[in-house]
């Protein structure tokens, strides 16, 4: 009997630390602030609304990726600071990304009027690392996702 207790406890701990990421629902994402730092760098802050029905607090520890325009690398993005999503509730928050243009000349060739750009021309590849309050870590990878479908894929 004593031999069975340890495996049962370890199994319970293992299953308790696992989070079903499919239950998490990203309800809304929108740009809150766009700060042009210089000609090739911008900081973008997004507002989000997330439903996290799981029992684990989620911490977005890192995020990085490449934005492409018609198959050509356009910009690199990186999370500025980690963000925390509390468990068992619907919460709103914001997350900031640093975006560096890889080729500033391509920006000039596209025209400086950002509102005239077609979002359908842009895709992104990204790697996002999420940790739970229990220490479990998950890396989400996205490849060639249309920028217009960002919230659908998350």
- Structural domain includes residue 2: no
Average pLDDT for the chain: 79
Residue 13 counted as domain residue: no
> Which tokens is 69 given?
């325009």
User: How far is the C-alpha of 149 from the C-alpha of 154, rounded, in Å?
Assistant: 9
**Would the pLDDT of 6 be above 60?**
no
In this structure, is residue 85 part of a structural domain? yes
pTM as predicted? 0.73
What mean pLDDT is predicted for residues 80-93? 91
17 occurs within a structural domain = no
> By residue range, what is the domain housing residue 99?
23-153
78 is a domain residue: yes
pLDDT of residue 16: 47
pLDDT at 78 over 90: yes
**Residue-level pLDDT at 111:** 63
Residue 10 lies in a domain: no
Assign residue 95 the CATH number of its domain. Answer: 2.60.40.10
Structural domains in the chain (count): 1
Contacts of 133 (CB under 8 A, 6+ apart): 56, 57, 58, 59, 87
pLDDT of residue 77: 92
**Per-residue pLDDT tens digits for 101-152:** 887 776 666 666 666 677 788 888 999 998 988 888 988 888 988 877 664 4
The verdict on residue 5 lying in a domain is no
Write phi, then psi, for 39 (nearest 5 degrees). Answer: -70, -20
């Amino acid at each position: 009997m004593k031999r069975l207790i340890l495996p049962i406890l370890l199994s319970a701990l293992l299953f308790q630390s696992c989070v079903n990421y499919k239950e998490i629902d990203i309800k809304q994402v929108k740009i809150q602030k766009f700060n042009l730092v210089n000609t090739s760098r911008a900081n973008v802050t997004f507002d989000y609304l997330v439903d996290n029905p799981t029992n684990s607090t989620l911490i977005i520890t890192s995020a990085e990726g490449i934005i492409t325009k018609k198959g050509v690398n356009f910009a690199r993005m990186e999370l500025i600071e980690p963000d925390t999503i509390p468990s068992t509730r619907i919460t709103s928050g914001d997350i900031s990304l640093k975006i560096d243009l890889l080729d500033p000349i391509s920006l000039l060739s596209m025209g400086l009027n950002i509102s005239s750009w077609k979002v359908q021309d842009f895709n992104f590849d990204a790697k996002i690392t999420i940790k739970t309050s229990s220490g479990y870590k998950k890396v989400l990878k996205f490849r060639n996702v249309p920028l217009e479908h960002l919230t659908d894929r998350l």
